[in-house]
Structure 1
Amino acid sequence: MKWSFVIQQKFKAAILLGGIMAMIVGGTLISRYNVEGIDESFSSIYQDRLVPATTILYLTENLYRKRLSLENYLYSDERQLPAHVKAQLRAHDRSVDSLIRLFEKTYLVDEEAKSLQAFKSQIARYSKLEEQVLALCASGAFADAKQLFSAPGATTFESTILNLNELAGIQSTIGKDLMKASKVNVASFGIISFLQIALAIITGLVVIVLIRNSQIIQKPRSDRNKSQYFNLN
């Protein structure tokens, strides 16, 4: 009877320990998934949010430099050569195109892709306006060139900058969402780690109980053998 009791206890303990081990393994897999999610979130924050945000800064700088170069040409007392101004504008255009290609290589949400497409359209529209201003200057119509630069040119330029501001706002919103996701993964990882520690403690206690029960069952037999040996003497 004692041995059947021991076998039953060991069988129950084996089922309990097996369940605990399965839970620990499952928790480990979930923790690994959470760590990978945290790593992906931080990688995305750098590659898909920080890089575009920096790109937007450089785009804004190039646009203002373009505007300033043409403004200096139109309103400066010592007017530069038209070829020099064109070279400056084309250099900024190449920088803008390069930055846009860099921006397009990052992950873009739908709203971001639409805003970027609108920005590219505004850039093309403003470049045509610059060409018209330079054409008027080449024909000697500086008054008309200044008027085109000031009125429609200023409106187009402001619209372009607004597109960039919209893109920057999207970067901020998505960055906050990624940070929230990372915090959720970190919290989940902490809870799972606590549960794994608790399960490890429970496993240790079960093992201790099994060892103690085994000693208690074996001890009476030892005492009985001793009494038999005593009677023989």
Structure 2
Amino acid sequence: MKSFFRIKTKFKVCCLFIVIIVLVLLNNLRERKSINRLDHSISAIYQDRLLPATYLYGIANHLYEQRLMGSDGHPAAIDSLVTVYERTYLTPDEKKQWVSFKDHLARYRATAAAGDTLAMMREFQLTINNLNALSSIQIGEGKLLQTDSKSIVSGSTLSSKLELTLLIILGVLAIVLLGLTEKAFNPAEHQSLN
């Protein structure tokens, strides 16, 4: 009977240790997923927001230079930036604005080739308006990614605190168990002393 109580008490302590270890491991897996999400979010800020914003600026810059100085090399540079921009991730709003931009750019080029100055100026302004709208979308999407990144970081901070608390509990239990004598695991012996 004495060995039964000893095994029962040790079993409870062992189960508690296993539960804490499993919780720490699950928390660790969750943190790894959060780190992967954060990595994706940071990459998206650079790949799909910062670089495309730079491409949009380059397109606008070439359009203004072309308008002021003529078309020496600017159409090819614009076409190159258009091709690179189209390889990035576009939200549905961006796709809509992008289609409109390309339509106005084609009309701008056609009216410039035809020599219709008034229509060319109107299409130029509409093209620039599309670029400005695309830039605004870039800013909005960048803010969403930033908010997502902040929530991932705050969740990881909370998760780390939980993990640290569980490890402290595990350490305290280990110290308490080391300090206990064999008689502490055998409550049946204490009852027989009465």
Q: Is the 8 A contact 2:66 2:72 kept in 1?
A: no
Q: Is the 8 A contact 2:24 2:166 kept in 1?
A: yes
- Aligned equivalent of 2:89: 107
TM-score under structure 2 length normalisation? 0.90
Q: Is the 8 A contact 1:63 1:92 kept in 2?
A: yes
1:153 maps to 2:135: no
Provide the rounded CA distance (Å) in 2 between the counterparts of 1:215 and 1:186.
45
- Aligned equivalent of 1:138: none
- Aligned equivalent of 1:94: 76
Query: Aligned ranges for residues 47-62 of structure 1 at < 5 Å?
Result: 47-62=47-62
SS at 1:107's partner residue? coil
Provide the rounded CA distance (Å) in 2 between the counterparts of 1:31 and 1:10.
32
Q: Is the 8 A contact 1:53 1:168 kept in 2?
A: yes
Query: Aligned ranges for residues 216-231 of structure 1 at < 5 Å?
Result: 216-217=183-184
Q: CA RMSD in A?
A: 1.7
Any unmatched runs of 5+ in structure 1? 71-88, 134-147, 219-233
Offset, 1:195:
0.6
- Aligned equivalent of 2:173: 206
Offset, 1:217:
4.1
Offset, 1:209:
2.5
- Aligned equivalent of 1:13: 13
Provide the rounded CA distance (Å) in 2 between the counterparts of 1:28 and 1:16.
18
Larger-Rg structure: 1
Q: Is the 8 A contact 2:56 2:135 kept in 1?
A: yes
Offset, 1:196:
0.6
Offset, 1:56:
0.8
Provide the rounded CA distance (Å) in 1 between the counterparts of 2:181 and 2:34.
41
